[in-house]
Structure 1
């Protein structure tokens, strides 16, 4: 019963992260934070799944490594956009232009 409550909480965290990602699209920083929130909830789901079936936890470390790399890439994109455009609004520049 307790495990079911944990699964429900993690799924609610995932859905709230997806909802914030879909609803808040003005700032790049808020979008990146919601994506990190989703990745964290996916990591918790993966960790609980691997513990429940007593699988090897090595894959969770690989997933965590890739999520850290994804966060670093997102932060570098944010810094370069702020340096070139002055802010992180999506309305002030067009992404399709080169």
Structure 2
């Protein structure tokens, strides 16, 4: 019964993160934070699922490694965009500008 509650909470948190990702897309920082939230919820869901089936937790460490690399890449893109454009608004970016 407790595992069912954990699955329900993780699904609710996942959909809350997806809602923030879809609705709050004005700033790049908010988008990156919602993506990191979604990754952490997926890690929680995967950790609960692997413990339920009593599998190895080694795959979760690989997942965390890739999520850290994804976060560092997103942060470096954010820093480079703020340095070139002065802000992180999506409306100030132009596709035609090099």
Deviations along 1:28-67, one digit per CA (max 9) or x if unpaired, are 0000000000000000011011100011100000000000
Normalized against structure 2, the TM-score is what? Answer: 0.96
Change over 3 Å in CA distance of 1:70–1:96 after alignment to 2: farther
Query: Alpha carbons of 1:82 and 1:21: their partners in 2 closer, same or farther (altered >3 Å)?
Result: same
Structure 2: runs of 5 or more not aligned: none
Stretches of 4+ aligned residues off by more than 3 angstroms: none
Give the gaps of 5 or more residues in structure 1. Answer: none
Indicate the residue corresponding to 2:65 in structure 1.
65
Specify the alignment match of 1:16 in structure 2: 16
Evaluate the alpha carbon distance shift between residue 95 and residue 17 of structure 1 in structure 2; reply closer, same or farther with a 3 A threshold. farther
Say how many residue pairs are matched: 98
Q: 1:25, CA displacement in angstroms? A: 0.7
TM-score (normalised: structure 1): 0.96
* Post-superposition offset of 1:96: 5.5
